[in-house]
Structure 1
Amino acid sequence: MRTTLVGLSLLAAFAAAAPALAEDAPAAPASDFTVTGGATLVSDYRFRGVSQTNTHFAMQGTLGVSHSSGFYIGTWGSSIDDYISAGSDQEIDLYAGYKKTINGTTIDGGVLYYFYPGNAKGSTTDFVEPYLNASHTFGPIGAKIGMNYAPKQHALRCDYDVRCAGKAREDNLYTYAELSGAIPGTGVTVTGHLGESWGRSYLTNGLKDYTDWSLTAAYTWKALTFSVAYVDTDFKKGEITSGDPTFRNIGKAGVVGSVGVAF
Structure 2
Amino acid sequence: MIQKTLVLLAVAAISGISYAENNILQQSGLTVTGAATLASDYRWRGQSQGENDPAIQGTFTIAHTTGLYFNAFASSVDLPLSNGKSANLELDPTIGFTKQLDFGAFKPNLDVGLAYYNYVSAGELNYLEVFLRLGFANAMIEGDLLTPSIAYTNDYGGNAISDTVGGKVDNWNFNLLYSVPFADTGFGGVASVGYTKANQVIYGNDDHFIDWKAGVTYNVKSVAGLTAELDVVGTNIEGFTGAADRAVKTGALFSLTKTF
Which residue number in structure 2 is paired with residue 115 of structure 1?
Answer: 118
Give, in whole Å, the separation in 1 of the partners of 2:61 and 2:81. Answer: 25
Give, in whole Å, the separation in 2 of the partners of 1:29 and 1:152. Answer: 37
Query: Would the aligned equivalents of 1:224 and 1:260 in 2 still touch at CA under 8 Å?
Result: yes
Post-superposition Cα deviations, 1:94-132, rounded to whole Å, max 9, x if no partner, equal 10000001232101000000111112xxx6211000100
- CA separation of 1:128 and 1:205: change in aligned 2, threshold 3 A: farther
- Whichever residue aligns with residue 255 of structure 2, its letter is S
| Greater radius of gyration (CA) | 1
- CA separation of 1:158 and 1:205: change in aligned 2, threshold 3 A: farther
Query: Would the aligned equivalents of 2:32 and 2:62 in 1 still touch at CA under 8 Å?
Result: yes
Mapped pair 1:190 → 2:194? no
Which residue number in structure 2 is paired with residue 70 of structure 1?
Answer: 67
Query: Would the aligned equivalents of 2:197 and 2:209 in 1 still touch at CA under 8 Å?
Result: yes
SS of the aligned residue for 2:184 comes to coil
Which residue number in structure 2 is paired with residue 232 of structure 1?
Answer: 234
- CA separation of 1:130 and 1:28: change in aligned 2, threshold 3 A: closer
Aligned length: 224
SS of the aligned residue for 2:51 comes to coil
Superposed displacement of residue 217, structure 1:
1.4
Mapped pair 1:257 → 2:254? yes
Normalised to the residue count of structure 2, the TM-score between the two structures is: 0.78
Query: Would the aligned equivalents of 2:81 and 2:160 in 1 still touch at CA under 8 Å?
Result: no
Output the aligned Cα RMSD. 2.4
Give, in whole Å, the separation in 2 of the partners of 1:130 and 1:200. Answer: 17
Superposed displacement of residue 157, structure 1:
2.7
Give, in whole Å, the separation in 1 of the partners of 2:121 and 2:70. Answer: 24
Mapped pair 1:80 → 2:77? yes
Structure 2: runs of 5 or more not aligned: 1-22
SS of the aligned residue for 1:181 comes to strand
- CA separation of 1:202 and 1:95: change in aligned 2, threshold 3 A: farther
Give, in whole Å, the separation in 2 of the partners of 1:201 and 1:176. Answer: 20
Give, in whole Å, the separation in 1 of the partners of 2:66 and 2:244. Answer: 48
Give, in whole Å, the separation in 2 of the partners of 1:197 and 1:132. Answer: 15
Normalised to the residue count of structure 1, the TM-score between the two structures is: 0.78
1:6-21 to structure 2, matched below 5 A, reads none
- Whichever residue aligns with residue 226 of structure 2, its letter is L
Equivalent in 33, 37, 42 of residue 36 of structure 1: 33
Which residue number in structure 2 is paired with residue 212 of structure 1?
Answer: 211
Which residue number in structure 2 is paired with residue 152 of structure 1?
Answer: 155
Give, in whole Å, the separation in 1 of the partners of 2:148 and 2:25. Answer: 36
Superposed displacement of residue 219, structure 1:
1.5
- Whichever residue aligns with residue 56 of structure 1, its letter is D
Superposed displacement of residue 155, structure 1:
3.2
Which residue number in structure 2 is paired with residue 3 of structure 1?
Answer: none
Give, in whole Å, the separation in 1 of the partners of 2:153 and 2:256. Answer: 30
Post-superposition Cα deviations, 1:149-203, rounded to whole Å, max 9, x if no partner, equal 011364363554xxx3xx2211110001122211113111211100011014587
Post-superposition Cα deviations, 1:58-104, rounded to whole Å, max 9, x if no partner, equal 00011110001100002001101131694120111110000001232
- Whichever residue aligns with residue 72 of structure 1, its letter is Y
Mapped pair 1:134 → 2:134? yes
Superposed displacement of residue 207, structure 1:
2.3
- Whichever residue aligns with residue 99 of structure 1, its letter is T
